[in-house]
């Protein structure tokens, strides 16, 4: 068994190299044992959903056999986006769940997102399941008849139509382009928008585990090319892209520009703050300084926290926040919803704002203070060196505070430093042997100067 497939937020690897049928069987047993230990009872019941990947049904069979060995009943909710599997945790009387998915990874990958009761597992809990799994043998009494079917997807659609059904009465509605990337969310979002009376141009909404048109990751700009083309050709008001399993969103405006994840988070914060007080918003360390400033201006209370959808979700609960998000397009809404990352629900809330308020998103984006920033920059760094390099860069920044003009250093996740002209971030990736960096400044010249100085310093520490 390869321990490195047990990651910070989920379990993920290449099918038939890292993950095979025996792995899935043993994982089913290990999760069953973990579930019973935490529930303090001899049996349990969970839901399982799966994405469009070619290996998903084989995985489901082996995983179910392992769970059955441990006296765990299974409700198979079928091919669904991850948010529908999360929805089942609230909709069904169950003890937890598993989503079979590798999200936006290439097609040869697959994996698992695990939940106990209504909470997704991460960090030490995933490692605990790996510990259990390492000690297991393959022999086990597989009991038949432990798998039931449930149409949770229809319940999910009904929930959305009940909440947003009033939008049918609006005569003036924005035209939408929806790119499903051949993942599991496109056909669901498309059906809901059509039912609400919207004119929707659907791109690649049929699930296809080969992902034949483009990689299902809407936060990478090249994957939005088709969406931009259709927006221009058909005079579309807003373009929406879902990732492979529907928990991340990308948004393209009518002028072809991108509304990034932190900007979308700000839009929701401003909207919700008009109607509620004490709006706490958790935002990850990669978000722009502008976003934190503008949130304060609208009366919201921003909280900067570590990157990672499970970590953000946990912090959101701890702080009693009703909104959270990441640059990566994970948006969590607890206002009128359950607080997990659901790109379909997020797209409905976005279109609701456009419909009811008539806001021009291009003008709204242009009204934000002008800054220059980099995308996420990844530099290879061996896992065993990552902590050491982060420690050295912290020390370097503290020693050179006056020289660089540093006003503040935040070490919540790696190191994020603020100057009077911008900010920078260096953190260890939780999913790859790499360091992640991002920079922002008031001018292109300042941005280049800051970025080059820190990247060269980091590379020097890596090569020592």
| Residues labelled as active-site residues | 12, 103, 330
| Cα end-to-end distance, the chain, whole Å | 32
Only one residue has tokens 């401003």, namely 270
Determine the angle formed by the axes of helices 383-399 and 444-463, rounding to 10 degrees. Answer: 130
Distance CA 430, CA 461 (A): 19
- Contacts by residues 446-453 (CB-CB < 8 Å, ≥ 24 positions apart): 446/372, 446/421, 446/422, 447/372, 447/373, 447/374, 447/422, 450/404, 450/419, 450/421, 450/422, 450/424, 451/374, 451/377, 451/424, 453/404
Q: How far apart are CA 372 and CA 195, in angstroms?
A: 40
CA distance 359 to 374: 27
Alpha-carbon distance of 373 to 286, in angstroms, equals: 11
Q: Which of 440, 442, 435 is closest to 374 using CA atoms?
A: 440
- C-alpha closest to that of 387 among 417, 413, 359, 361: 413
Beta 249-253 vs 258-259: how paired, if at all?
A: antiparallel
CA atoms within 13 A on the CB side of 175: 11
What is the Cα–Cα distance from 95 to 102, expressed in whole angstroms? 23
The first and second tokens of residue 409, run together, are 């250093």
Query: Does residue 18 sit in helix, strand or coil?
Result: coil
Q: How many Å apart are CA 106 and CA 90, to the nearest integer?
A: 30
Question: What is the DSSP annotation of 333-380?
Answer: E-SSS-SSB-HHHHHHHHHHHHHHH---HHHHHHTSPP-EE---EEEE
């Amino acid at each position: 068994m390869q321990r490195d497939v047990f990651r910070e937020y989920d379990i993920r690897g290449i099918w038939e190299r890292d993950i095979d049928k025996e792995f899935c069987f043993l994982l089913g047993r290990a999760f069953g044992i973990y579930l019973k230990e935490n529930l303090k009872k001899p049996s349990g019941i969970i839901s399982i959903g799966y994405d469009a990947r070619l290996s998903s049904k084989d995985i489901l069979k082996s995983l179910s056999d392992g769970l059955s060995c441990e006296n765990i009943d299974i409700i198979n909710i079928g091919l669904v986006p991850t948010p529908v599997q999360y929805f089942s945790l609230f909709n069904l009387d169950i003890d937890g769940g598993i989503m079979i998915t590798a999200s936006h990874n290439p097609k040869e990958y697959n994996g698992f997102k695990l939940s106990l009761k209504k909470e997704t597992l991460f960090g030490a809990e995933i490692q605990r399941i790996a510990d259990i799994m390492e000690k297991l043998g393959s022999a086990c009494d597989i009991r038949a008849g432990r798998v039931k079917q449930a149409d949770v997807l229809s319940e999910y659609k009904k929930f959305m139509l009940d909440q947003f059904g009033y939008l049918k009465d609006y005569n003036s509605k924005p035209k939408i382009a929806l790119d499903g990337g051949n993942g599991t969310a496109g056909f669901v979002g498309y059906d809901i928008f059509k039912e609400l009376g919207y004119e929707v141009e659907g791109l690649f909404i049929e699930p296809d585990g080969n992902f034949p048109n483009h990689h299902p990751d809407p936060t990478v700009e090249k994957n939005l090319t088709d969406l931009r083309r259709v927006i221009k050709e058909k005079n579309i008001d807003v373009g929406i892209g879902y990732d492979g399993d529907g928990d991340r969103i990308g948004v393209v405006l009518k002028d072809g520009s991108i509304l990034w994840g932190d900007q979308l988070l700000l839009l929701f914060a401003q909207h919700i703050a008009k109607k509620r007080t004490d709006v706490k918003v958790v935002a990850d360390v990669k978000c722009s300084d502008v976003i934190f400033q503008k949130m304060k201006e609208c009366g919201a209370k921003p909280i900067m926290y570590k990157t990672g959808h499970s970590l953000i979700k946990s912090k959101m609960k701890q702080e009693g926040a009703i909104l959270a998000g990441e640059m990566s397009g994970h948006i969590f809404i607890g206002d009128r919803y359950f607080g997990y990352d659901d790109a379909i629900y997020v797209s409905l809330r976005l279109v609701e704002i456009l419909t009811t308020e008539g806001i021009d998103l291009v003008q709204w984006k242009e009204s934000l203070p002008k800054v220059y920033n980099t995308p996420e920059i990844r530099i290879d760094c061996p896992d065993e060196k990552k902590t050491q390099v982060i420690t050295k860069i912290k020390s370097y920044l503290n020693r050179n505070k006056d020289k660089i003009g540093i006003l503040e250093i935040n070490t919540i996740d790696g190191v994020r430093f603020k100057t009077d002209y911008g900010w920078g971030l260096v953190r260890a990736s939780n999913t790859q042997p790499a360091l992640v960096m991002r920079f922002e400044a008031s001018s292109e010249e300042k941005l280049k100067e800051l970025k080059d100085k820190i990247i060269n310093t980091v590379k020097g520490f890596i090569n020592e």
